[in-house]
Amino acid sequence: MTDPRTAPPRPDSPPLGVTLAILGVSSLTVMANATIAPALPGLRDHFAATPGIETLAGLVVTLPSLFVVLTAGLFGVLADRYDKRPLVMVSMLIYALGGASGLLAQSMGSMLAGRVALGLGVAGTMTLAQAYVGTLWHGHARDRFAGQQVAAMNLGGIVFMTAGGVMAGINWRLPFAIYAVALPIMAYAWFMLGRVPGKYAAEPRPEGAPAAEESFPWSAFFYVGPFAMILMISFYALPTRLPFLLDERGIGGPLATGLILSTATLISIPGALSYGRIRRFLSARTVVAIGFLLIGCGLVVVSLAHSLTVTVLGVMLAGAPLGVMFPNFIALFMALVPAPMRGRASGLLTMSIFSGQFLSPLISGPLVALFGLSGGLMAMSALPLLAAVVAALSAGGGQERSAAA
């Protein structure tokens, strides 16, 4: 058996077919919960007799996030120990069945049960996709792919959110059918990932480097994790509250809601694809500070807007930094994590992201109850603006390791 410390270096990136498979899996993840956001008013009206329907309607979007938080760590451990390929397939099957179950759910209980299953599927697909990134891409190729991956996630968000708006305009249940797209992607991924071994030897150790015992970089996680969570708490105030705000103001309908929310992902794609070039000029911590500043300003604009045009501008302002911030978190963290621990690292990062998604309506809900929809969004803007200040203060201190690991 070849000693991984003396094995010849592997290519910096896998074949194109494998790349497309990981991009396809990634496209199903981050915006999976918000796909049915345009259907929320119709769902609320259909189950109007259910006690607490206002809160439950919001949980339809965010409940999957709780179960991502509860299970992503487990998927991360499994990714480090077993063949990732069958784990990805099972996760995508659960994703498709749980997501599409809303087509048939006859009670809020069964609706929420399906969302729990969707959460399990998302936990597996996202964690395992990130684990593949950590083992298949190296050096600057990982930075480039991190941007491409986020672009694929956001492109999936555009397609799913727009389709959700169109379908919700016909019938509020139809957006749940979108989750079935996981099935053809699953078939393609099964074929292409078969070309990649499920287990990987440790990355070659640079010649002359000491064989020190590797430990998990918790300090890096305690920087990246909380900021990733705050990012999602802040941004997810839009898909969970904007449909009701637009309904209250009489601006558009389900289709308009889907199109408006999709602009947040559309505007983020150029930044995602340009992430590698952006990092030549800005440190990772500076990227975090600027990103939070833009998100906070976007929430302020949306809270004050009383026209469709200004609302779209606010959503775009809040969405633009997402394309840079996600690959920034991925590249910054994965560069510091030893190869045998990248599955667990992916699980922790996934937990942080979806913790924010789950907590978002729980934080914005009391603010909306206290200040109304517009005032609640204005109050939510304080969180990313404060995070921008903290990130800016930290930008001048500490050295960042190169992402070439």
The residue among 376, 112, 122 whose CA lies nearest residue 237 is: 376
pLDDT at position 8: 47
Phi/psi at 318 (5° precision): -70, -30
Phi/psi at 10 (5° precision): -85, 165
How far is it, in rounded angstroms, from Cα 264 to Cα 154? 9
How far is it, in rounded angstroms, from Cα 368 to Cα 243? 13
Is residue 263 in some structural domain?
Answer: yes
322-353 in b/e form (b: 16+ CB < 10 A) is: bbbbbbbbbbbbbbbbbbbbbbbbbbbbbbbb
Q: What are the angstrom distances between the C-alpha of 313 and each of 3, 47, 264? A: 55, 33, 9
What pTM was estimated for this model as a whole? 0.73
What does pLDDT average to in each consecutive run of 10 residues of the chain (405 residues)? Answer: 47 79 84 75 86 81 84 87 89 94 90 93 89 78 78 77 82 91 93 68 44 71 90 89 84 74 82 82 88 95 89 92 86 78 83 85 88 92 95 68 42
The vertex-159 CA angle with 254 and 319, nearest 5°, equals: 80
How far is it, in rounded angstroms, from Cα 391 to Cα 405? 24
Is residue 405 in some structural domain?
Answer: no
How far is it, in rounded angstroms, from Cα 266 to Cα 200? 35
pLDDT at position 6: 47
Specify the number of domains making up the chain.
1
The residue among 54, 301, 12 whose CA lies nearest residue 141 is: 12
pLDDT at position 1: 44
Q: Which residues contact 197 (CB under 8 A, 6 or more apart)?
A: none
How far is it, in rounded angstroms, from Cα 137 to Cα 114? 34
* CB-based contact 279:144 (threshold 8 Å): no
Domain that holds residue 276: 16-203+216-395
The residue among 313, 309, 308 whose CA lies nearest residue 245 is: 308
Q: What one-character DSSP code corresponds to residue 181?
A: G
* CB-based contact 358:62 (threshold 8 Å): yes
Is residue 391 in some structural domain?
Answer: yes
Alpha-carbon torsion 330, 332, 337, 340, what sign? positive
The residue among 112, 92, 94 whose CA lies nearest residue 102 is: 112
* CB-based contact 65:357 (threshold 8 Å): yes
How far is it, in rounded angstroms, from Cα 319 to Cα 224? 19
How far is it, in rounded angstroms, from Cα 360 to Cα 349? 17
* CB-based contact 32:158 (threshold 8 Å): no
The domain spanning residue 294 has which CATH number? 1.20.1250.20
The residue among 390, 94, 58, 65 whose CA lies nearest residue 241 is: 58
> Which pair of structure tokens corresponds to residue 375?
């005032």
pLDDT at position 397: 52
How far is it, in rounded angstroms, from Cα 23 to Cα 145? 9
How far is it, in rounded angstroms, from Cα 325 to Cα 289? 10
Is residue 211 in some structural domain?
Answer: no
HSE-CB at 260 with a 13 A cutoff on CA atoms is 26
Place of tokens 């990772």: 284
Is residue 7 in some structural domain?
Answer: no
The vertex-305 CA angle with 359 and 161, nearest 5°, equals: 55
Is residue 47 in some structural domain?
Answer: yes
HSE-CB at 175 with a 13 A cutoff on CA atoms is 29
Q: Which residues contact 97 (CB under 8 A, 6 or more apart)?
A: 117, 121
Is residue 73 in some structural domain?
Answer: yes
Question: Residue 282, Cβ neighbours under 10 Å: how many?
Answer: 15
Is residue 2 in some structural domain?
Answer: no
